[in-house]
Structure 1
Amino acid sequence: MAGRSQKKTTSHPLEDFKVGVDNIIFSVDTTQNRLLVLLVMRQEEPFRDRWSLPGTLVRQGESLEEAAYRILSEKIRVNNLYLEQLYTFGGPHRDPRESPESYHVRYLSVSYFALVRFEEAELIADGVTGIAWYPLEQVPQLAFDHNQILKYGYQRLRNKLEYSPVAFEVLPELFTLGDLYQLYTTVLGEGFSDYSNFRARLLKLGFLCDTGKKTSRGAGRPASLYRFDAEAFAPFKDKPLVFV
């Protein structure tokens, strides 16, 4: 229309993306009260000989979840695990391979976090010179932005303990309240709740079933064994649990 100025638009080229999957694999060593994360040593550039989270680029015809399970199966053998998608990290320059020589390819990382039972997890070292469980507080400087990804995953794990039954994924089918309390203190820290309040609140909620069986450990009194009742927990799903 005559007399109306036209706003000039600037056209930006579209990014060309490569998509990777990085897994944060947590486990709780209840015998030594340690929260562990699985790390692998990179065998190629960039960051050769640097510890990193287990990861892979997504193959043609492969879904993100399939890639996450593939990298899990290549690094660890375990019968039971919890896995969920965490977050997508895609800021520019997060990967040294993003250079003019690479025609401005951007590398995205879709992260997943997993929780496995330490006692039954078997590490696979085939073709890998470095693979190890690291206590969370001893994790070194990792490749790429993996320290940031790990920090995000740890916060998600803490949050999951508040409103989901994820803790029971790493306990045996039958467990004592002391076992459960120890797991929570290992992940959340000693100050989250005292044992008496923790025990009273849990039993009041009613999703733990007393099996009538007891176990003896050391010189103390036999402790009652409980089983998690998923049906009884259903009303509490996605609601913060007060005991944490």
Structure 2
Amino acid sequence: MPGQQQRKPTSAINQQPLADFKVGVDNVIFSVDITENRLLVLLVMRQQEPFANYWSLPGTLVRQGESLEDAAYRIMAEKIRVNNLYLEQLYTFGGPKRDPREACDSYGVRYLSVSYFALVRFEDAQLITDGVTGVAWYPVKDVPQLAFDHNEVLNYGNCRLRNKLEYSPVAFDVLPKMFTLNDLYQLYTTVLGENFSDYSNFRARLLKLGFLYDTGVKVSRGAGRPASLYQFDADAFAPFKDKPLVFI
């Protein structure tokens, strides 16, 4: 880009042979448990070295003749059943020594990870546990030390999720078809934190934008007065597509 200086390789790097890579994919799959207001990430327990008995993101090495996207979908199909799963490429992690197997490989093979990201509806996502051990939804705020550099990958995915909530209708993909404004607000506070906006401002801004449709149906929850159920209007949202800070 203009104004940026390109990093010049050092003479030591110039003298090194070209790197030989193995390529893997790692998936950061989020969900929101709106009944308990928890942001969750899908983790698997590793059964072999390196990092045996550590939690990790679902991942796999890419096979001959397989695309990166196909590998990402393959590993997900082994861990979870969900309708209309959408994965988008997140980032490529390729720093030297990110994988302990590099030190054991006499051929100097490097391990590259292309990460993918998704947000799925918690109620519709069925974990595959037959013949598989250690697959679980884990609260993001309680995630332990993960295998490899997966904490870094997870943090990057969490930043992507927070950004997407600001400019895309991704939240409506995980809510029921009809929802209250409080349901939507609780989802945002679960991901962004309780201090991102107060409810009254959030409600007023959304209704002013005009892409939420009041169905005329009301629902009673607890002792309060009945709340209106809304639906997301994709056509009305079209003029706002990719514009930042639409919701907050």
TM-score (norm 1): 0.93
Out of 103, 108, 111, the residue aligned to residue 107 of structure 1 is: 111
**Unpaired segments of 5 or more residues in structure 2?**
1-10
Counterparts of 1:100 and 1:77 in 2: how far apart (Å)? 36
Instruction: Say which is worse superposed, 110-119 or 233-242, in terms of deviation.
Output: 233-242
Q: Runs ≥4 in structure 1, deviation > 3 angstroms? A: 8-12
1:158 partner amino acid: R
**What are the equivalent positions in structure 2 for 1:208-227 lying under 5 Å apart?**
208-227=212-231
Counterparts of 1:218 and 1:92 in 2: how far apart (Å)? 55
Tell me the residue number matched to 1:17. Answer: 21
Q: CA deviation at 1:100?
A: 5.7
Superposed CA deviations along residues 124-153 of structure 1, whole A, max 9, x for unmatched, are 113322111111111000000000000000
Aligned CA-pair RMSD:
1.5
**What are the equivalent positions in structure 2 for 1:60-75 lying under 5 Å apart?**
60-75=64-79
Instruction: Say which is worse superposed, 53-62 or 124-133, in terms of deviation.
Output: 124-133
Tell me the residue number matched to 1:132. Answer: 136
Greater C-alpha radius of gyration: 1
Out of 62, 71, 78, the residue aligned to residue 82 of structure 2 is: 78
Contact 1:81 1:169 survives alignment (8 Å): no
Superposed CA deviations along residues 193-243 of structure 1, whole A, max 9, x for unmatched, are 000000000001011111111111122211111111111111111111254
Equivalent pairs, count: 237
2:185 is the alignment partner of 1:185: no
Contact 1:211 1:226 survives alignment (8 Å): yes
Counterparts of 1:182 and 1:189 in 2: how far apart (Å)? 10
2:49 is the alignment partner of 1:45: yes
TM-score (norm 2): 0.92
Out of 144, 162, 165, the residue aligned to residue 161 of structure 1 is: 165
Superposed CA deviations along residues 102-132 of structure 1, whole A, max 9, x for unmatched, are 4110110000111111111111113322111
Counterparts of 2:105 and 2:140 in 1: how far apart (Å)? 37
2:169 partner amino acid: P
2:96 is the alignment partner of 1:92: yes
Contact 2:180 2:227 survives alignment (8 Å): yes
